[in-house]
Amino acid sequence: MADFSGKFSDEAVREIVATAAELADAARVATLQHFRSDGLTADTKEVTRFDPVTVADRLCEERMRAILARRRPDDGILGEEFAAVAGSSGLTWVLDPIDGTRGYLSGTPTWGVLISVRDAAGVVYGLIDQPYIQERFEGGLGRAEVNGPMGRRALKTRPARPLAEAIVFTTFPEVGTVEEGAAFRRVAQKARLVRYGTDCYAYALIAAGQIDLVIEAGLQAYDVQAPIAVIEAAGGIVTDWQGKPCLNGGQVLAAANRDIHAAALALLNG
């Protein structure tokens, strides 16, 4: 992620950060209202596979959009649950109200709320927020920090290490297509530890210096833009499987550093 801090005045930076915080605070209330509640059900967005959406997904995004309509009426909005809004300011807020709805339905605390801001050049700033744990990971505009039960501390990715010592995450064991799954397994077989199913929280763990790689496929723009901001602010790198920008999702390789990124990239394309 490029350094966007010089493009914005101090006042503009404060306003973006404050708006994102208000969105995340509202999202915490909306999502926890239904989390682990009796009778929570989900519709599916697809016919061939279970792609759930709940009342909490919709409520959360509605509340965030209402805040943006009040605070940032000239900005665009790209969200998962409702139609995109064109803006005139050059900035777009990218919202995923619950990244990991399957985990949310299951009662696991590894889903999250993704909030980011982008302009024509790329992602400016992002948040990964886990309401139940009350952990908030922040990156961009000169910030790289987590605030949660263990207090506030700086985010910094892991230093380089051999792939044989790496911890690798992905959400779904099959990863994507048969070919994408085979490519992932070429990396996984070389790693020390492979874990599954944590959705956006895995990207936060890269930024926090806990793991080395996240490898996924089939993502959307709202799945990846906040993680890009947070990870790159912490010193990591996020690209597609060819080493190119992945702002619109698709295949995503997130890495703690360039050395482990290069090692994984070679195997994905091996």
Length of the chain: 270
**Per the domain annotation, does 157 fall within a domain?**
no
CATH code at position 184: 3.40.190.80
Regarding whether 15 and 143 lie in a shared domain, the answer is: yes
CA distance 49 to 220: 17
Task: Tell whether 188 and 135 lie within a shared domain.
Answer: no
Q: What is the pLDDT of residue 45?
A: 73
Claim to verify: residue 216 and residue 138 sit in the same structural domain: no
In a domain, 117, yes or no: yes
Return per-residue pLDDT of the chain as tens, 270 residues.
555 656 899 999 999 999 999 999 999 999 999 999 998 888 887 767 777 899 999 999 999 999 999 999 999 999 999 999 999 999 999 999 999 999 999 999 999 999 999 999 999 999 999 999 999 999 999 999 999 999 999 999 999 999 999 999 999 999 999 999 999 999 999 999 999 999 999 999 999 999 999 999 999 999 999 999 999 999 999 999 999 999 999 999 999 999 999 999 999 998
Which pLDDT belongs to residue 136? 98
Q: In terms of Cα–Cα distance, which of 266, 208, 260, 211 is closest to 237?
A: 260
**DSSP assignment of 160-171, as one string?**
P--GGG-EEEES
Query: Of 89, 122, 148, which marks where a domain is finished?
Result: 148
Question: Is residue 153 one of the residues assigned to a domain?
Answer: no
Q: Are residues 43 and 176 in the same domain?
A: no
Identify whether 155 is part of a domain.
no
For residue 156, tell me if it sits in a domain: no
- Considering the domain architecture, whether residues 15 and 141 belong to the same structural domain is answered as yes
Helix or strand (DSSP H, E) at 19: helix 10-32
> Is residue 169 located within the same domain as residue 144?
no
Q: Is the same domain home to 48 and 182? A: no
Q: Which of 148, 172, 206 is the last residue of a domain?
A: 148
Asked if residue 139 and residue 34 are part of one domain, the reply reads: yes
Same domain for 193 and 128: no
Last residue of a domain, one of 148, 171, 205: 148
Q: Specify the number of domains making up the chain.
A: 2
Q: Return all residues near 172 (Cβ < 8 A) that are at least 6 apart.
A: 196, 197, 216
Domain of 201, in residue numbers: 163-268
Single out the residue of 88, 32, 91 nearest to residue 60, CA to CA.
32
162 CB contacts (<8 Å, ≥6 apart)? 263
- Indicate whether 158 belongs to any domain: no
**CATH number of the domain encompassing residue 46:** 3.30.540.10
C-beta separation of 222 from 255 below 8 A: no
